[in-house]
A and B are shown apart, each in its own frame.
Chain A
């Protein structure tokens, strides 16, 4: 069964609005979660690493003020796309590890964001 749950699965919003995406670890604590973005026919791109109780670590080129990450508990990380624009339309996926650092990542089901 799924070990990481993501919500919503899809969202359509208007330009200028903000969208919050939730990522939950099921039945395990995740001190670290990862947020990815994937454009059509392209590979997964790591956006940021979400750290419980501290600031997220953003990848180069990812605007931290636009993509707000909050990891307030050991089972929940949220990504808020602020002032969304059509170019932010993409597939956003979170992931977490069930075990130690070398263990595989488990992904949420992803959120398809369309900004009109």
Chain B
């Protein structure tokens, strides 16, 4: 089992749609969780951190379920510019390495 697993893609959605990505992690000692966005041939960029109580940033909502060891990202009112690969990232302390999911590709179409 991979340490961090994401929904297989790609997701093809029309503009304005709501889309959700899930990610599961295997290490219960994981402490920090993030969603990154990576555009084609570019470096990953931090989209948002994920907090235990859940957090929202505009059209983006992130949730964390520690008991089930998964995190989610919800994108509302999708825009063409949201087309990218979304990476689930898990980190910790005490020598725990930051682990990247393989990414989920999103295509938003007009």
Residues of chain A touching chain B, judged by Cβ–Cβ distance below 8 Å, are: 6, 34, 42-44, 46, 91, 93, 101-110, 112
In-complex Cβ contact of A102 among B42, B93, B103 (8 A): B93
- List 5 extra interface pairs beyond A6-B43, A44-B87, A101-B92, CB under 8 A: A34-B98, A43-B101, A43-B102, A102-B91, A102-B93
Complex: A102 Cα to B30 Cα, angstroms: 10
B1 within 8 Å of A by Cβ? no
- Contact A102/B41 with A43-B103, A46-B97 known, Cβ cut-off 8 Å: no
One of B14-22, B44-52, B56-64, B67-75 contacting the partner: B44-52
Nearest first, the 4 A-B pairs at minimum CB distance are: A107-B43, A43-B102, A102-B32, A110-B43
B41 touches A112 (CB 8 A): yes
- Counting chain B residues whose Cβ lies within 8 A of the other chain, the interface size class is 20 to 34
B12 within 8 Å of A by Cβ? no
Nearest-neighbor residue (CB-CB) of A10 within chain B: B41
B34 within 8 Å of A by Cβ? yes
A104 touches B43 (CB 8 A): no
B27 within 8 Å of A by Cβ? no
Which residues of A sit under 8 angstroms from B91, Cβ to Cβ? Answer: 101-102, 104
Nearest-neighbor residue (CB-CB) of B34 within chain A: A104
B43 touches A109 (CB 8 A): yes
- Contact A110/B42 with A102-B91, A102-B93 known, Cβ cut-off 8 Å: yes
- Contact A107/B49 with A43-B101, A46-B97, A101-B93 known, Cβ cut-off 8 Å: no
Which residues of B sit under 8 angstroms from A91, Cβ to Cβ? Answer: 41
B34 touches A93 (CB 8 A): no
Which residues of A sit under 8 angstroms from B97, Cβ to Cβ? Answer: 46
Which residues of A sit under 8 angstroms from B42, Cβ to Cβ? Answer: 109-110
Interface centre among B44, B49, B89, B92 (most CB of A within 10 A): B44
Interface centre among A42, A91, A101, A103 (most CB of B within 10 A): A101
In-complex Cβ contact of B45 among A46, A101, A107 (8 A): A107
B100 within 8 Å of A by Cβ? yes
